[in-house]
Amino acid sequence: MLLLRHSCAHVMAEAIQRIVPGAQLVYGPPVDNGFYYDIAFPDDRPLKEGDFDAIEKEMAAIVGEDRPFTRYDMSAEEGLAKLNGEGSKYKVDNAKRAIEAREEDSSESYPTMEGTDSSESRPTLLSFYATGEPGTDWEDLCRGPHLPSTGRIGAFKIMSLASSYWHGDETSDRLTRVYGTAFFKPKQLEAHLALLEESKARDHRVLGKKLRLFHIDEAVGQGLVLWTPAGSVIRKELQDFIGEELRKQGYMDVFTPHIGKLELYKTSGHFPYYAQSQYAPIMERDFLQGIADEGCSCAELANMVATGSVKGYLLKPMNCPHHIKIFDSQPHSYRDLPVRLSEFGTVYRWEQSGELNGMIRVRCFTVDDAHLFCREDQIADELKGCLSLVKFAFGTLGLNDFRVRVGLRGPDSDKYVGTSENWDRAEKACLDAAAQLGTPVSKEPGEAAFYGPKIDFIVKDVIGREWQLGTVQVDYNLPERFDLSYIGKDNKPHRPVMIHRAPFGSMERFVAVLIEHFNGAFPLWLSPEQVRVLPISDKSNDYADDVVNRLKDARVRTSVDTSGDRIQAKIRNAAEMKIPYLAVVGPRDAQASKVSIRARGIQKNLGQMDLDQFVAAIRSEIDTKGTESVSARFS
């Protein structure tokens, strides 16, 4: 498959160069679902989506000719001379890098496929692949290998255009990345495209609109999520769920403001280090008036804002400084530790506009945050506690498809604060705690924060993009910066260690992930609407109201559909909203104090149940979070 897709990238590149003669090739590797080719287009002839048809036509012609992929080798000198002659700076660069990489270390894999020679016996050779006859047909510097001939490419499609940077460097040349995909058989391509359609329907942004879970309004601002009533139910249920567990684990709730003095964030180090990703400071009116009176120019003011030499407040980018100040508001004995302060704390970050994504990447989000202040010898136990909470919460939600990344120190030891012995212990504690989760754990040296090792939970969205959810981080830095202390057994002050932990990460991102995970069909306890009562006709409306009232008394979220629709339409409408249970009521049910039950995902009437029994069964499914289910009583 990789060969197929890489070969197809060559075919596409040839087709593109026929249509846009000045286009210079850069890299063209296969990727997960296809391949791409980074290409530098002349400024006066950018590639547009409108060109796709023409390119695909050319590609079909090349495939139809069934030309063989032919490899030939040249020495480094010859190859470079040839590429120089062709005036392709990108290919020359690829070749040079390939040669260098090989001379330095042949075992090191080269980041791009181009130009690396898999044959170690001829280390200074560069290989080229011609699509047909070398010298007469189209060719490309390439390590290969390839399919025997173009005719083997059964089905292909150009998918999209994107921009990229040369060597992934923002300041370097901007390239156009053309994505395509290819399969051996047309049916496979059709299946792949159908899967993409399905994924799109599962996207939290699509479902969020359809199920009315959240709204983002231009008039409010980019990346600022408005939680609708339905979405708020889910968030509130999650908060109550996690809050209950936190109380069991000895956490104490706190509430803190959304802003804090700029100076506070200088102490914490968030300013100016993260100044780029923060909203600009909120300045005091007197301060602004004062500098205006002194004749301060806009440029001067902008500079003052950038350097933080203004009097004002920041929308908080993190909750830690506030929690630290609560901890530090009174002295602590070693006997008091650990102190665990928790808050669903809302934070604000100025993410780049192109990075925003539904509820997954936003500018204002609420962290299920907590900060643990503990002794060095308590770190391991506290980490275990955090991880068991994550295990429990994720397990309850059936969210098992995530991976764990443990960020450890990298080789350059200068950038890390805290003693080496403490780091050793903390890293070991993180690894031990992570191991208890029973999911894949990857150790990643160099991924630790400068202030301590961390454990991150990472999930994939419906399109396969990975997102970080929760995180648990050991921190030696902030206690230092804020000069925190507790009184030890020896009656002397000691420095506590902080653990930052947020099992869900942000409520916004977590709910987005859940929407996709459940495909909008939330378990009963999370469902915004749990039961919808459907009278057969308005003759049964009164009984339907009775049923609704009984359910409401049992704290079940419910409504009744008294529209003029026939029962078929009512069922269809409720099914589209993915409501877990439908209680159909007609004269036959009213007369016997029963309801006819239909469960989500089961395309038939399950049968009648006594109303009393149904109310109790629903309540129990909610309370057990699905361990006991109403529909199971019919099987």
What is the footprint of RNA within residues 44-103 (CB under 7 A)?
46, 48-50
Residue 35, phi then psi, degrees to nearest 5: -160, 170
Rank residues 129 and 581 by Cβ distance to RNA and give the closer one.
Answer: 581
**Binding residue for RNA, selected from 160, 400, 442, 627, defined by CB under 7 A:** 160
CB 103 to RNA: min, Å:
26
What is each CA distance from 605 to 470, 590, 595, 631, in whole angstroms?
Answer: 41, 17, 11, 11
Q: What is the DSSP string of 387-402?
A: HHHHHHHHHHTT---E
Strand 581-585 relative to strand 531-535: parallel, antiparallel, unpaired? parallel
**Binding residue for RNA, selected from 67, 270, 323, 371, defined by CB under 7 A:** 270
- For residues 87 and 167, what is the distance between their CA atoms, to the nearest angstrom? 19
b/e string for 257-284 if b means 16 or more Cβ within 10 A? eebbebebbebbebbeebbeebeebebe
Per the structure block, which two tokens stand in for 406?
């443990």
Rank residues 131 and 319 by Cβ distance to RNA and give the closer one.
Answer: 319
Query: Residue 317, interface with RNA (CB under 7 A)?
Result: yes
- For residues 83 and 26, what is the distance between their CA atoms, to the nearest angstrom? 13
CB 604 to RNA: min, Å:
5
Rank residues 43 and 293 by Cβ distance to RNA and give the closer one.
Answer: 43
3-class SS of residue 339: strand
CB 455 within 8 Å of CB 391: no
Binding-site size, RNA (CB under 7 A): 72
**Binding residue for RNA, selected from 216, 383, 544, 548, defined by CB under 7 A:** 216
Q: Scan residues 161-180 and list those touching RNA (CB under 7 A).
A: 161-165, 168-170, 174, 176-177, 179
CB 44 to RNA: min, Å:
11
**Binding residue for RNA, selected from 247, 289, 588, 624, defined by CB under 7 A:** 588
Q: Which stretch binds RNA (CB under 7 A): 19-27, 368-376, 428-436, 585-593?
A: 585-593
CB 211 to RNA: min, Å:
12
CB 136 to RNA: min, Å:
33
Per the structure block, which two tokens stand in for 510?
């977590």
Which contacts (CB < 8 Å, 24+ apart) does range 99-106 have? 99/124, 99/126
Query: Residue 205, interface with RNA (CB under 7 A)?
Result: yes
**Binding residue for RNA, selected from 60, 301, 380, 567, defined by CB under 7 A:** 567
Q: Scan residues 522-541 and list those touching RNA (CB under 7 A).
A: 536-539
CB 68 to RNA: min, Å:
32
Query: Residue 309, interface with RNA (CB under 7 A)?
Result: no
CB 92 within 8 Å of CB 100: no
CB 451 to RNA: min, Å:
9
Query: Residue 508, interface with RNA (CB under 7 A)?
Result: no
The torsion defined by the Cα of 548, 554, 555 and 557, in degrees rounded to 10, comes to -30
Query: Residue 401, interface with RNA (CB under 7 A)?
Result: no
CB 170 to RNA: min, Å:
4
**Binding residue for RNA, selected from 81, 191, 195, 569, defined by CB under 7 A:** 569
Q: Which stretch binds RNA (CB under 7 A): 87-95, 388-396, 595-603, 619-627?
A: 595-603
b/e string for 19-53 if b means 16 or more Cβ within 10 A? ebeebbbbbbbbeeebbbbbbbbeeeeebeeebbe
Handedness of CA 104, 108, 111, 114 (dihedral sign): positive
Peptide bond into 272 cis (omega under 30): yes
CB 377 to RNA: min, Å:
25
**Binding residue for RNA, selected from 598, 614, 617, 629, defined by CB under 7 A:** 598
**Binding residue for RNA, selected from 150, 471, 506, 530, defined by CB under 7 A:** 471
Q: Which residues contact 335 (CB under 8 A, 6 or more apart)?
A: none
CB 603 to RNA: min, Å:
5
Query: Residue 21, interface with RNA (CB under 7 A)?
Result: no
b/e string for 443-456 if b means 16 or more Cβ within 10 A? eeeebbbebbbbbb
Size of the chain in residues: 635
**Binding residue for RNA, selected from 64, 410, 493, 587, defined by CB under 7 A:** 587
Query: Residue 377, interface with RNA (CB under 7 A)?
Result: no
Query: Residue 580, interface with RNA (CB under 7 A)?
Result: no
Closest CA to 91 of 30, 159, 38, 150: 38
Per the structure block, which two tokens stand in for 238?
């999650």
Angle between helices 541-553 and 611-623 in degrees, nearest 10: 40
Query: Residue 465, interface with RNA (CB under 7 A)?
Result: yes
Q: Scan residues 428-457 and list those touching RNA (CB under 7 A).
A: 449
CB 407 to RNA: min, Å:
9
CB 426 within 8 Å of CB 393: no
Query: Residue 357, interface with RNA (CB under 7 A)?
Result: yes
Query: Residue 605, interface with RNA (CB under 7 A)?
Result: yes
Taking CB under 7 A as the rule, which mask of x and - marks residues 226-265 in contact with RNA?
----------------------------------------
Q: Scan residues 334-353 and list those touching RNA (CB under 7 A).
A: 347, 349, 351-353
Closest CA to 79 of 60, 68, 95: 95
CB 233 to RNA: min, Å:
20
Rank residues 150 and 181 by Cβ distance to RNA and give the closer one.
Answer: 181
> H-helix or E-strand containing 30?
strand 30-31
Rank residues 357 and 485 by Cβ distance to RNA and give the closer one.
Answer: 357
